[in-house]
Structure 1
Amino acid sequence: MKHTYKSLTIAAAVSALVLTGCGSGESTTATGGGLNIDVPEVPMLEELREGEGQVNIVAWSGFVEPAWSDQFTEDTGCVVNRRVAGTSDEMVTLMRTGEYDLVSASGDASLRLIAGGDVAPINLDLVPNFGDEIVEGMKGQVYDTINGQSYGVPIGRGANILQYNSEVVTDAPTSWDVVWEPDSPYAGKIIGYDAPIYIADAALYLMATQPELGITNPYALDQEQLDASIELLKTQNSILSEYWSDPTAQITSFTGGTSVVGTSWEVLRKLSEDERMQGVLPEEGSTGWSDTWMVAAEAQHPNCAYEWMNYTSAADVNGQIAMNFGMAPANGAFCDLNEEAKAHCETFHALDEDYYSNIWFWTTPLEQCVDGRTDVQCTNFQEWTQAWQTVKG
């Protein structure tokens, strides 16, 4: 099942990101053009030339399939060599071997790749299908736009929803309180996500319920804020049925009755084919994920890589990828192609920016606070990974 390959595991500790200033002492700020931090200077492709005959891609399962890669090869002469990765950490490791030209990076990997000098800035002039049809909410984001320069071409996005069994949870929940509060009526039947990035979900709930902590971005936590989030997670641990990282196991937990409420993806709810399974975006908002194509800093086949990014940014191909994987497409024009496309876009809220304005997309935690604070040092991904281990015991 395709989403088995999109889990973030504790193995991320091996190559966790620790970012500090790279000499200039400039601070980090989040802006409309992404994030402002010091990063290695990597040259950008200035001109598209003849393709090299092949392109090597690291991708999530379902992103690179014969249904569209064969046509791409026929159109461009670039043969597609695919390597499926199981985690964001694996993607980072593979990209650092120098053997791959492209990667479909999620927000919890993209900043690691940018900060490590592993990927190059994107020349959007060479990606003509990246235009007005790309939804605004996937342009210029913190996780792939640095100092006003794009490092990624959007593929798709999704939210982490609150799923519940309507046969047991008869009053449709409107808040995450049913999974975080120790007196939840569903204690012992709650499922949580098994990954350090899940700390952001706890921080998001604390943003709404403990404003005195001063959390304004769930991925920018100083030590006090991280401690509070970990304490909440430890409390939740005592009322959980289990954690999930394997989507197939998550579906089984719900359909089998082990869990009746907890974190999920819209596609998992649909794949369960169980009418009892319902989902909602709670009033506090939620975390989510957004994927982009990123080009290796020393790509051996950069022209074919750009050809691929442009090809997969077209409405029909981008939509095929989105439907195959189970997410909202980046190219909004797909939603008008036919009734099937329209239904898919409605299911995944593809054109609903109000919906996605309530989603905090996965972003690698940095010592330089991504919320713009300069008077404190935030905790980094390595510290999150270590803290997560104390939650699991």
Structure 2
Amino acid sequence: MKKFFVFALLSMMIVFLAACGNDDKDADNAGGEKELSDELIVFNWSEYIPQEVIEGFEEEYGVDVVYSTYNSNHEMLTKVQSGTVAYDLVFPSDYYVKQMVENDLLQEINFDNIPNYENIANAWRNMPFDPDNKFSVPFMYGYDGIAYNKEFIKEAPTSWEDLWNPDYAGKVLLLEESKEVSNMVQQLLGNDMNNPTEEQLEEGFEKVKELIPNVLAFDSTASDRLVSGETWIAHAYSGAAATAWLENPNIDFVLPEEGGIVWLDAMVIPKTAKNKYTAEVFINYLLRPEVSKQLSEFIPYGNPNEKAVEILDENIKNSPGINFPEEVIKRAEWNLPLDADRTQLMNRLFQESKVE
């Protein structure tokens, strides 16, 4: 019995030592040493992080950031689901975070590795799409509203209906994601944008078809066209308007009387990520006040990092689309995904409306 006990004890010790020595390069075990990976694969919206911020992380940590971009949440989700590339960090919008959690596509984040999370203002924590704050870290927030060039449009737009003004033929830009276009037109028609009936979806995209003669393009990055005057008025993100305003002071942004949409883009780690710890270190780096300040200077969306906002230049703080009266902000709605059947119908109707 003694021999058996000693043998069993030795066997258990060997297994224990082997387990301790079997940490991955990107280990994040409670008792194990955390080690950065050689590379980090990041998938983000276009025009969202300046190159100098990426280079600063690479130089400080010795990690090669493989950085690619997308133009819509749908594109991002399709590529994450395909598994062709094991992205370590992606930046979905709020309702897509919820969808990715429900589809078991995300890992829980270890906030012990992100001490700079304390810089996030309380107003942007425990959001409806991640109420227990397990899967996401706020990155930037903003609005869907109306951007316009005051050189060509002398009176500020007040309603989504202004996009249909026949004087703007060929000068209107629309966002290129079906749900965002649907939100806009459902608000205009007075329907619940997050719970439209199939008949209301059809009615909405018939209304979009009426707008097509005015539409120059469907584009989520309206800045260049607004600056050049190629576009006079756009269904656009507030950050795109603010970016254009930095180059052309004639650009302004309003939330329509129907409400507009408020949104938050977040940082999440897919289940397929191979470099989770390194992704958390990168998130922590982006939340440094001086780094987050660079993000706002590059593209002035609303920044949930209150320590970064404190050191922002006043000019950036006052750019279009950031400061609205409280009563205007309260009218803005959060976007929620539709069920699978209505999403399929919405996507089909959207594509059909674009070819009218």
**TM-score, normalization: structure 2?**
0.75
Report the Cα offset of residue 125 of structure 1. Answer: 4.4
Q: State the one-letter code of the partner of 1:222.
A: T
Following TM superposition, by how much is the alpha carbon of 1:49 offset from its aligned partner in structure 2, in angstroms? 4.8
Pair 1:134-2:120 in alignment? yes
Contact kept in structure 1, 2:145 and 2:253, CA below 8 Å = yes
CA contact (8 A) 1:76 1:307 kept: no
Residue 91 of structure 2: aligned partner: 104
Task: Note closer, same or farther for the CA distance 1:318–1:359 as it changes in structure 2 (3 Å cut).
Answer: farther
- What residue is the counterpart of 1:72 in the other structure? 57
Trace 1:23-102 onto structure 2 (pairs within 5 A). Answer: 47=30, 49-54=33-38, 55-96=40-81, 97=83, 99-102=86-89
Question: Which of residues 340, 343, 348 is equivalent to 1:381?
Answer: 343
Specify every segment of 5 or more residues in structure 2 that has no aligned partner in the other structure, as ranges: 1-27
CA distance in 1, matches of 2:108, 2:284: 15
Question: Structure 1 334/192 Cα, relative in aligned 2: closer, same or farther at 3 Å?
Answer: same
Matched, 1:278 2:278: no
Structure 2 residue 150 is matched with structure 1 residue 166: yes
User: What is the aligned-residue RMSD (CA, Å)?
Assistant: 3.3
2:337 counterpart SS class: coil
Q: How does 1:282-297 map to 2 (within 5 A)?
A: 282-297=256-271
Percent of counterpart pairs with the same letter? 18
Q: What are the equivalent positions in structure 2 for 1:171-210 lying under 5 Å apart?
A: 171-180=155-164, 184=165, 186=167, 188=169, 191-193=172-174, 194-197=176-179, 198-207=181-190
SS in 2 for 1:100: coil
Counterpart of 1:328 in 2: which secondary structure? coil
Aligned to 2:337: 364
Q: Provide, for residues 121-152 of structure 1, a one-character-per-residue CA deviation record: whole Å limited to 9, x for no partner.
A: 33444422223x4234433334x416x45321
Instruction: Provide the residue aligned with 1:157 in structure 2.
Output: 141
For 1:67, what is the secondary structure of its paired residue? helix
Question: Following TM superposition, by how much is the alpha carbon of 1:66 offset from its aligned partner in structure 2, in angstroms?
Answer: 4.6
Match of 1:346 among 297, 301, 318: 318
- 1:72 is matched by which residue type in structure 2? F
TM-score between the two structures when normalised by the length of structure 1: 0.69
One-letter amino acid matched to 2:346: W
- Counterpart CA distance in 2 for 1:187 and 1:95 is 38
**Residues 163/52 of structure 1: CA separation in 2 closer, same or farther (3 Å cut):** closer
Work out whether residues 149 and 232 of structure 2, in 8 Å CA contact, stay in contact via their aligned partners in 1.
yes
Deviations 1:340-374 (A, max 9, x none): 2x32122156576935444335543235xxxxxxx
Distance 1:235 1:177 in 2: 11
2:198 maps to which of 204, 223, 226: 223
Structure number with bigger Rg? 2
- Aligned length in residues: 319
Indicate which of 227, 230, 233 corresponds to 2:208: 233
- How far does the alpha carbon of each residue in 1:284-304 deviate from its partner, in whole angstroms, 9 at most, with x for none? 221254211111213211111
Query: CA offset at residue 388 of structure 1?
Result: 0.8
Label 1:189 to 1:80 Cα distance change in 2 as closer, same or farther (>3 A): closer
The 8 Å contact of residues 154 and 330 in structure 1, kept in 2 or not, is answered as yes
How far 1:164 sits from its partner (Å)? 3.1
Tell me how far 1:50 sits from its aligned partner.
0.7
Give me the whole-angstrom Cα distance separating, in 2, the residues matched to 1:315 and 1:253.
29
Aligned with 2:295 (options 321, 345, 356): 321
